[in-house]
Each structure stands twice: as structure tokens, then as C-alpha cells.
Amino acid sequence: MSEPQKRGNVVVITGPSGVGKGTIVKQILAKFNDIVLSVSATTRKIRPGERNGVEYYFKSVEEFKNLIDEGQMLEWAIFADNYYGTFKDAVKEKINEGKDVILEIEVQGAMQVKDKLPESILIFIAPPSLEELKTRLVGRATETPEVVMKRLKIAEEELKTTNKFKYVVKNDNLELAIKEVENIILNEREN
């Protein structure tokens, strides 16, 4: 008889906007073929190059509120005036198949996952400094200056919550930060 399937882990990558979460997640997905990404829903406007169902499921506010009411969200939050959330069933399905699922989400959502699924692996990605984060967010040029300022203000608050997370990885060298995240996931799998 075959061994029962071991359930996968939920890996949460959190931290301020612009810190490099997305880049780290892409690299982790490229390195592990047994880790999949949870594609979130959001009400923010689609950016050039983004595809519905790939980076996000883009929803109207009404559609998003319905998803919440129907109990479809594992977690959700309002970030810089837009809703963002993780689909509960998609995550459940993947971990039941024995795959690890990565959630790339902001801090309020990460705290909800910590409450609901305390066995999750929570990793906070921190910038070398707020100044550096500002340079990165401005350089990324995906948002208007007003939105950049809003995201930086949120970042200041988010950086006060690092003590809530088991793992804090400082992203001042991308390669090292990726390696650190990789090691955390491998070590947690052994537990």
C-alpha cells in the first residue's frame, strides 16, 4: 500500500511594497517544481503587461465583496485603497495534493493566515532601509508619486510588525535573500 500523501506547506512571503517579494517569489518558483503560487484577487487597476488570471484575478469592488460574503477568501485586506485577497479553495486543493503554496501578500493578510493556519511558514522580507525602499519604489515606476507616498507610509507601519514573524530576511543582496528563503523552506520541510 502506498504511503498517505503528506500535506504541503503554506509559505507566506510578506513585507512592504517594493521590497522585492515578487522577484524572490519568482526565483523560488523557478527553483522548486513542487511549489506553486497562489494567484490573488484584487480590485486594483491592471498594469501594462499584467494578465487576468496570471498575476491576479482582477475584480470589481462588487465582485470582490461577493467573494468575501461567500466565504471564498482565506484572507483579505484593503491596501492603498484596493482590495486584495487569497482564494481559500485554491490553497486547500494544492496543499492536499502535497504541494507547497506560496502567498505573496501584505502584512494584514499575513497576520490573518498566521491566525487561521498557524503551521504556515511566515517570512517577512525587510528592506535595508526606508530610504532604499523609496528609491526602489520610485525606480519601479509602476505607481503615481501619490501612490508611492501612500505605499511608503504603509511600509513604515509594516516595518513595525517584524517581531510578529518567525523569519525576517533582509533584502540588501538579492541572491543571498533568495538563498535564505530557500533554506528556510527546506529546513521547515524537515520538521
Binding footprint of ligand 5GP on the chain (CB under 6 A): 17, 21, 40, 44, 75, 77, 79, 84-86, 104-106, 108-109
- In the complex, least distance from residue 75 CB atom to ligand 5GP, rounded to whole angstroms: 6
Cβ closer to ligand 5GP: 44 or 179? Answer: 44
- In the complex, least distance from residue 100 CB atom to ligand 5GP, rounded to whole angstroms: 17
What 3 state SS string does the chain have? CCCCCCCCCEEEEECCCCCCHHHHHHHHHHHCCCEEECCEEECCCCCCCCCECCCEEECCHHHHHHHHHCCCEEEEEEECCEEEEEEHHHHHHHHHCCCEEEEECCHHHHHHHHHHCCCCEEEEEECCCHHHHHHHHHHHCCCCHHHHHHHHHHHHHHHHHHHHCCEEEECCCHHHHHHHHHHHHHHHHHC
Cβ closer to ligand 5GP: 106 or 180? Answer: 106
**Which is nearest to 181 in space by CA: 16, 75, 23, 8?**
23
Cβ closer to ligand 5GP: 77 or 169? Answer: 77
- In the complex, least distance from residue 34 CB atom to ligand 5GP, rounded to whole angstroms: 22
Cβ closer to ligand 5GP: 4 or 71? Answer: 71
Report the residue closest to ligand 5GP, judged by CB.
Answer: 109
- In the complex, least distance from residue 79 CB atom to ligand 5GP, rounded to whole angstroms: 5
Cβ closer to ligand 5GP: 156 or 186? Answer: 156
- In the complex, least distance from residue 129 CB atom to ligand 5GP, rounded to whole angstroms: 18
**Which is nearest to 100 in space by CA: 2, 4, 6, 1?**
6
